[in-house]
Structure 1
Amino acid sequence: MSEARARLLGTATRLFYMEGLHSVGIDRIVAEAKVTRATLYRHFTGKDELVVAYLREADQAIRDRVDEALASGRPAAEILRLVATAIAEDIGSPGFRGCAFLNAVAEYPDPEHPVHQAVLAHRQWFLHTVTDLLAQSGKTPPELAGRHFVMLRDGAMASGCLSEPAAVCETFLQGIEGILTA
C-alpha cells in the first residue's frame, strides 16, 4: 500500500468512525491526509469506494483477531469466549462509538449499495464463524445460538456508547456465557 493511500485510509477511518460517513466530506479527508484530490482519485474512484475500503479494513482487523484465537488451538467454546472478551474490550475502549458496521448500514440503508453489501458480507462471515464454533462446541441448534450471539453483540455495541460500558460488557459476557453453558 502506498504511503498516500495509507494516509487517506487512516484519515478516513478516524473521521468516519468518530463523525459518521455522510458528515465527513472528501475535501476534509484530503486536507487532513495532506494529499491532493487527484491522489485520492488515483486510489479510490470516489467516497463510496473509500467507505468500502474503510469497512474492509475494519473487517480484516476483526478476522485477524478471530484467526489468532483460532490458531491458539483452544476448544471452540474457549475461542468464543476470547472473541466475546475482545468485543467487550472494544466497547470499553476510549473513543468507542459503536459498531462501525451498524453505523454504516444506518447511513446506507439501500441493500444494493456497495457499502451496505460490505456490511452484509462482514455480518455473514461473523455469523458463519460463530455458528461453526458453536457447532464444534456441541450447541444444538448452533444456528439459533449463533444468531443469539450476534444479537447480543449488536445490542452490546449499541448500548456501549449510550450507557455505562462496564455494565454493558458485564451483561454481554454473562449473556455469552449463558449461550455457552446452556
Structure 2
Amino acid sequence: MTGKKTTKPSPRERILEAAEELFYREGIRGVGVEAIAARAETTKMALYRHFESKDALVAEWLRLMAAQDEAVFDRLESEHPGDPRAQLLGWAQVIAGRLSEGYRGCPLINSLAELPDKNHPARQVIEAHKARHARKLAALCTLAGIPEPEAAASEILFVLEGAQVSAQCMGAAKVGERLMRIVKAIVDGKGG
C-alpha cells in the first residue's frame, strides 16, 4: 500500500472549521458551543480548553476571516505591482466573484448585526479590520491619482459592502455586474 497517511486536523483547527461553517450558515447567536463541539467531533470541554469562551471563539473566527481578506490585498499587490488601479478593480472583481446563488454575504458584515456591544471583542476585530480596509482603499485611490481619494475610497467601500448584502435578495449576477460598473466609474474618476 503506497497511499499517503493523512493527519486529522487538530481539535483547535476542527473547532475553528466547525465555527466557520456554523456561524456563517446559521449566525453567531443561532449556534451554541454544543453544536460546534459536535460538528468538530470533540467535546465542549475541549472547546473551552482552546477558547476561554464562545466570544473568544467568535473573535478568533473573525480574525481569520479578516486575515483572508488581507491576504487577497497582498495577492493583488503582488499580481499588479505599482498598479493601484488594477488592485482596486481586482478587489472589486474578487467581491463580484464571491456573489453567487447561496452566498450569504461577508461574515464580518453579517456579524455586526449580531454584535451590538461596541466593547465585544469580536466587534472590535471587525471594526479594526474595516478601518484597515478603508485605509488601504484610500491609499490605493491616492496612488491611482483619483480625485478626492478619501471620498472615492468611502464610495467604493460602500458599494462593495452594499453589493454583498444586495446579492442575497437581488440575484448575484446582476449585482456583480453593477458592482463592477460602479467601481470602474469611481476609479476612472467619473463618480459612482
**Structure 2 length normalisation: TM-score?**
0.91
Which residue number corresponds to residue 146 of structure 1?
153
**Mind listing any 5+ residue stretches in structure 2 that lack a counterpart?**
1-8
Which residue number corresponds to residue 111 of structure 2?
104
Which residue number corresponds to residue 78 of structure 1?
86
Which residue number corresponds to residue 116 of structure 1?
123
- Residues 43-65 of structure 1: CA deviation (Å, up to 9, x unaligned): 10111011111111111111111
Which residue number corresponds to residue 44 of structure 2?
37
Distance 1:178 1:24 in 2: 41
- Residues 88-112 of structure 1: CA deviation (Å, up to 9, x unaligned): 11112x5310111111110011112
Which residue number corresponds to residue 5 of structure 2?
none
Aligned residues: 180
Backbone CA RMSD of aligned residues: 1.1
* Residue 182 of structure 2 corresponds to residue 175 of structure 1: yes
> Runs of 4+ in structure 1 displaced over 6 angstroms?
none
Deviation at 1:74, TM superposition (A): 4.8
Match of residue 3, structure 1, among 10, 29, 36? 10
Distance 2:169 2:28 in 1: 19
**Mind listing any 5+ residue stretches in structure 1 that lack a counterpart?**
none
Distance 1:5 1:107 in 2: 24
Distance 2:69 2:162 in 1: 18
Which region of structure 1 is more displaced relative to structure 2, 78-87 or 65-74? 65-74
Secondary structure of the 2:29 match is coil
* Residue 95 of structure 2 corresponds to residue 87 of structure 1: yes
* Residue 142 of structure 2 corresponds to residue 135 of structure 1: yes
Which residue number corresponds to residue 156 of structure 1?
163
- Residues 3-55 of structure 1: CA deviation (Å, up to 9, x unaligned): 11000000000000011000000000001101111211111011101111111
Which residue identity is paired with 1:21? I
More helix per residue: 1
Distance 1:8 1:119 in 2: 20
**Structure 1 length normalisation: TM-score?**
0.96
Distance 1:163 1:152 in 2: 14
Distance 1:99 1:162 in 2: 14
Structure number with bigger Rg:
2
Secondary structure of the 1:161 match is helix
Which residue number corresponds to residue 19 of structure 1?
26
